[in-house]
Chains A and B, each alone.
Chain A
């Protein structure tokens, strides 16, 4: 039962352009959402998060948007840089619960 879904396994973007990574969830109890970035042979690294009381959170080049009615969130990276090339995982949790639910990841390639 995949409660968090990332339907695009891969995405290629030109350097300097915007990267948009999408994530959908099915469990309406989730109230906190995170994006992790993962390089090969490394663990996921926390990137940015958003609480369900907000619809946008921005941190430098990274912005996460949350649409609760659609149960959809997206990560925008602008401008994209070659160093952003990695696998991006969306994760969700219900505050007070113990485990994060992860999507299957989207592999972003930023072309110089």
Chain B
């Protein structure tokens, strides 16, 4: 049973470009969470999605950031017009529908570097 998969593992963008981060949850998991870890900080919640629905986006910046989890395919975190402050590690986690949200399994992360 493959774990949570994220790609790319590393992404380099210039200021003003778009970044697309993909997350495939564990098999059988229908809940996806995105977290961001800035240097020297802990992980901070961004958004919680179920298939085709955004349930909680209270941690998402109001502009430039969006997330989706389509019926088919991976969850996508999209950052438009990236700035240097977006440089961070972005982690996706998933959980099965039958569990509480506390049972989250993390992917290896995507490290975004904005030049």
A interface, CB within 8 angstroms of B: 4, 6, 32, 34, 36, 41-46, 49, 89, 91, 93, 95-105
Contact = CB atoms under 8 A, between A and B. Distances in A.
Given A96-B100, A98-B101, A42 B108 contact: yes
Contact of A42 (B43, B58, B109): B109
Interface of B: 4, 6, 9, 33, 35, 40-45, 48, 55-56, 58-59, 91, 93, 100-109, 111
What are the 10 closest A-B residue pairs judged by CB atoms, nearest first?
Answer: A99-B45, A43-B106, A102-B42, A98-B48, A98-B56, A102-B43, A104-B42, A44-B106, A43-B108, A93-B102
Given A43-B91, A95-B100, 17 more contacts: A6-B42, A36-B106, A43-B106, A43-B107, A43-B109, A44-B43, A46-B104, A91-B43, A93-B101, A93-B102, A95-B102, A98-B48, A98-B101, A99-B33, A104-B40, A104-B41, A105-B42
